[in-house]
Structures are given as C-alpha cells and as structure tokens.
Structure 1
C-alpha cells in the first residue's frame, strides 16, 4: 500500500512541475520601427494571447547604444528580465546605419545581447524592417541588408534565435510593389514608419516568424490565416 502511494506521488511530480512553469513574457526592444506610435510592436502584441506580458519598450531614434541611455525603458527592461521565462526581442539598425559601420554595429549588438542575457532574459535578435523605398515598381532600394546580415552573424555567433524580418518584409514589399507598399506609410512619403494598417500587417509577420523559429509560442499567438496567406502571396 505504501509503495503504491509513493509511486502515485512520483508519477504526479511532472504534472505539478508543468503546472508551475511560468508563462513566457516578451519585451520588445528597438527603434521607431518597433515602437508604439509607428512600428510593428502594437500589431505584434495584439496578436498574442495568454503571455505573462507583451511590453513595447522601443524608443524612436535610438541605436543599440543610445537606447541603453533611455532610463525609463532601460530600467523597465532590467526589471522585466528578473521575471523567469522572459524573452527580449532586439531590433536595431535603422539609426545605427546612419552613424556606424557594420563592424561597430555588430560589436554593439553583441555586447547588448550578452548584457540582456546576463540580466535574465532570453534574447531574440530581429533584423531591421525593410524601408519601402523603390528604384522601380517592384525593385526596392535596399541599403539595410549589410546590417541585417551582421545581426544574423551576431545571433549565430552567440547561439541565439534570430528572426529575419528584413528579408521577410523585403520579399513582401517586392511582391506588393511600390504603390501598394506605400499604403503602409506612416504619413505622406514616410516609407520607413508604419500607419495603423502597417502595424497590423508587419506585427503579424513578426508573429509568424516567431512561431516558425520557436514553436513553443504557437499557443500564445492568435492565428490569422487570411493575413498570413496574404503576406506569403504578396497581397493586401
């Protein structure tokens, strides 16, 4: 009888552990193409359900280095990283590209990803959202590719997951063409930032990239087969 009770108790232990495992949380770190007013962050968080948190800490105009000098967002990130099972997406490049070469950018990104990891978060590197500038109707004028490749190199060297948003968004706008791509413009001829529709579309793109690389998040992402198909086909 006693042995049977022990066996039942041992058998129940994995179930108790699984039930006690904390839900994952996500914080978004990056520049204006991620932040709440004109980036994909709001669209992504609206596509999630059941996460412990989905918090957009991106700051417009920042580089990898200058973001770390934003006390409100920086301290919020450090606090969030003390919570077990918190992931931090890191997407920079737009402003770094204006100031630093790829070597400096890579070194900065490496140091920052290591820092975030030591603070307790699991870093996920995201390559820069493509700018919607075109040479002709279906030929984007892309100058961010070297920085996207550098971000991937950093992720691979550190053994981190990366989401190639740059290639996914570049492929999508190439299929769409300039006229339809400009419908995502934040205002006028702003081909970098996103209006409300753009936030939704590219937030969905990030969500799909995330579950493709980390299937553990699938149950935390609200499916939208119609939009996922549209992005794959290059339609709105």
Structure 2
C-alpha cells in the first residue's frame, strides 16, 4: 500500500516540477538581417564571362655589349637595366670583363648578342656598344690597332646589328678615374675620338659617355670620386687622393675572388678590389644615370621607355 502511495506522489510531482521551470523564449529576429554572400560559379561570374577584349602589349629590347665597365658587378650596366628601363622594355646585359672589340667577337660573345638582337616579338631592339679599355696597348691577346682595327671592328658591329634589324648605339668608353695634381688624366681620349668618328661616318646614335663621365669625375675631384669604386680605397690611396693624385696600379692590391657565403647556396663568384676603372653600386648608379640621359638625347624614340 505504501509503494502505491509513493508512486502516485511521484507521478503527480513531475508535471508540477515541469510547470515550475521557466520556458525558454526564441531569440528575436534581427531588425535588419544580413544577407548571405552570393557565390557565383565560374560559369556565371561576369568578371570571367564578360571580359573586355585585351589589347596586345608592345615591348622593346635593349642589349648591352661591352667590357667590364658595362657588365654586372663591376660596370654601369647592372644599374642601367635595374633602374632605368620601364616594364615594357627588356634589358639584357651581355657585357664581359676584359674584352676588346677583337676578343668579344673572337670568343663568340657577339654571336650570342646577335641572337638577342633578332627581332622576334619585340617591336624594336637596340644594342648599346661600348669598348675601348681593352683595345688599348698592353692587353695581351686583346689590344687592337687604334688607327685601323679598332674603328673597323666598330663598323662591323654596326653593320651586323643593322643586318638583324637592331638599332646600334655607340658609346665612348667610361673614363678612368686617375688624377695627377688634381687633374683627371685623358688616357682614353684617342679611343673615344675614334668612336665618335665612326658614329658620325655611319650615322649611328652616339652616347658620349667618355666626355660626360670625364667631366663628372673631374667635378667630384680625386677624393670624392673614390666612393665610385668597387670597394673602399686603401689608406695610402686615400692619402694620395688628398694630395690630388692617384697611385699606379702596381702599388694597389690585386682583386680577390668572392667566396660563397653558404655551401648549400649560390656558388658563383666574381673578383673585386679597388681600382680607378671599375665601379661598385654607387658608381654604377651614378654612371648609369648619365647613360640613360645620354641615350634619350641620342635616341628620342626611347624617351618614354627610359627612366631618369
């Protein structure tokens, strides 16, 4: 009997407990419900299905040919390609250290340059040619006769470039930053003059880099021009510059080869050291700006393609 009474009590107590609990209310609807983002399939996305016609681009190409004063790392060419051409102009630096108008062709480098000059898809191709340093006397296996061979080699470069459809541009050589009693030496004058003569004779655009770089370096003076070199000068070089002079190359340490930083990384190397001919980043930036300005003046058609 007692069990029946307890069961009945539980039976009637459960509904009572349920009725005493608060009833959860549904969350109110937001006043301005945020619409779910619409996802378009690639088939219906108008940015894909309704593309306007694309206008084909036109690109020009500039090929650099020359010696170590043109090549990357020791010449102005690296900064020229990096800083002074726009995105619609390809720039290929084929400068090679130690080359003359004779050896550049003899080793086959000119053949690679001619291949780069072939028109292909480019609307126009220009080749900037700068030699002279290694055509001077005393360059074993490279020197050329100033009166005959040097100008003849330049003429042939011009003819070859024109034959493949490129526009040749001649550059007089970059000045050597060697001073005597505060005055910059004129060692490359005869070679610069031959370049000017060939340019005039063959109606070739001319960038007179020698004249402009010579004037610029003379303006900087013996001490300030030291900062254009590949590396900082030794103390004796700096002291000589204060007196307005440059030391002979025999008294300056020979260039050394760079060493790879990481045995698992890039393994290429190049020689670097102080001299009065080659340039570091500061010098490359400085002289490449002169080349860019001179190029636009010589070839106005490139004015919109060259950056100051």
Normalised TM-score (structure 2) = 0.63
Q: Distance in 2 between matches of 1:51 and 1:66?
A: 32
Deviation at 1:126, TM superposition (A): 0.3
Deviations 1:28-72 (A, max 9, x none): 00000000110000111122113431000010000112111343x
DSSP 3-state at the match of 1:54: strand
Deviations 1:84-133 (A, max 9, x none): 51000000000001323321211111122211221221100000000000
Q: 1:40 aligns with which of 76, 86, 107?
A: 76
Q: Distance in 2 between matches of 1:74 and 1:215?
A: 26
The change in CA–CA distance for 1:160 and 1:20 in structure 2 (over 3 A counts) is farther
User: Is 1:31 paired with 2:97?
Assistant: no
Q: Distance in 2 between matches of 1:127 and 1:28?
A: 13
User: Is 1:181 paired with 2:225?
Assistant: yes
Q: Distance in 2 between matches of 1:180 and 1:105?
A: 33
Aligned-CA RMSD value: 1.7
DSSP 3-state at the match of 1:49: coil
The change in CA–CA distance for 1:20 and 1:70 in structure 2 (over 3 A counts) is farther
Mind listing any 5+ residue stretches in structure 1 that lack a counterpart? 1-18, 224-236
User: Structure 1 residues 109-118 or 73-82, which shifts more?
Assistant: 73-82
Larger RCO: Structure 1 or Structure 2 (Cα < 8 Å, ≥ 6 residues apart)?
1
DSSP 3-state at the match of 2:129: strand
User: Is 1:164 paired with 2:208?
Assistant: yes
DSSP 3-state at the match of 2:128: strand
After TM superposition, list the pairs within 5 Å mapping 1:22-171 onto structure 2.
22-46=58-82, 47-71=84-108, 73-83=109-119, 84-98=123-137, 99-103=143-147, 104-137=149-182, 139-171=183-215
DSSP 3-state at the match of 2:230: coil
The change in CA–CA distance for 1:122 and 1:70 in structure 2 (over 3 A counts) is same
Deviation at 1:173, TM superposition (A): 0.6
Q: Is the 8 A contact 2:75 2:279 kept in 1?
A: yes
Q: Is the 8 A contact 1:22 1:85 kept in 2?
A: no
User: Structure 1 residues 86-95 or 211-220, which shifts more?
Assistant: 211-220
**By percentage of residues, which structure has more helix?**
1
Q: 2:301 aligns with which of 184, 192, 216?
A: 216
Q: 2:279 aligns with which of 194, 218, 229?
A: 194
Deviation at 1:20, TM superposition (A): 7.1
Q: Distance in 2 between matches of 1:108 and 1:79?
A: 19
Q: Distance in 1 between matches of 2:303 and 2:201?
A: 26
Q: Is the 8 A contact 1:44 1:207 kept in 2?
A: yes
Q: Distance in 1 between matches of 2:61 and 2:203?
A: 20
Larger Rg: 2
DSSP 3-state at the match of 1:129: coil
